Amino acid sequence: MADLSDLAAGERRDLADYLDTLTAEEWERPSLCRGWSVRDVAGHVSSYDVLSWPALMALFARSGFSLDRANQARLAESRRLRADELTARLRECAVPRGVTTLFGCAVALTDGLVHHQDIRRALGHPRQVPPERLAAALEFAPRARALPAPANLRGIRVIATDLDWSHGTGPEVRGPAEALLVALAGRPQALADLEGSGLGTLEARLRR
């Protein structure tokens, strides 16, 4: 398998290149992240890379060690930047640093890939995700505690129809790897691309 740092850097550079093609109106549209615009998601992806470890610890202390409150604090900082400044920061931080290097940079890769799709799916701009990135992100998803994926996977078996990947036991959910990853990350918009006897269970969890 390719180095996860390289995979994450490639994903971030692809996202920056894609963001450069968006209109000013598209930057302000809602993404799949509830309450976040495309601009907000673009700013979030690299917002933690610019923090030193002491600064990160101070942020979490101020946020009561709540990831949601920490994300909102970083979001407020990113909203002060122009679109071109956000894409420049994303390219500058293409190679993960700081907290996003955890789990061998699986955090950076999975976060970047899911959020890239949060933007593209919301804007109706599909793409072919490099399969090695999808495979690595899916391998990490079952233990990615910052995502709802571990809870969403409980008691079901998920099978990618376009990759040699599966996980779990129980009623099956099958579909393209990209849709599986996006759904497991909590986005019900991907459910339409999936099928199987376990789909109702997964849908109930995502829409709860």
Report pLDDT digits (tens) over 156-206.
999 999 999 999 999 999 999 999 999 999 999 999 999 999 999 999 999
Range of the domain at 167: 131-206
The 10s digit of each residue's pLDDT in 49-65 is 999 999 989 998 999 98
Same domain assignment for residues 47 and 139? no
CA nearest 151: which of 205, 73, 95?
A: 205
Same domain assignment for residues 43 and 10? yes
Using a cut of 0.75, tell me whether the model's pTM lies above it: yes
Which of 100, 123, 146 is the endpoint of a domain? 123
Same domain assignment for residues 76 and 155? no
CA nearest 172: which of 161, 182, 162, 164?
A: 161
Same domain assignment for residues 87 and 146? no
Residue 26: pLDDT over 70: yes
Same domain assignment for residues 27 and 112? yes
Which of 57, 90, 123 is the endpoint of a domain? 123
Number of domains into which the chain is organized: 2
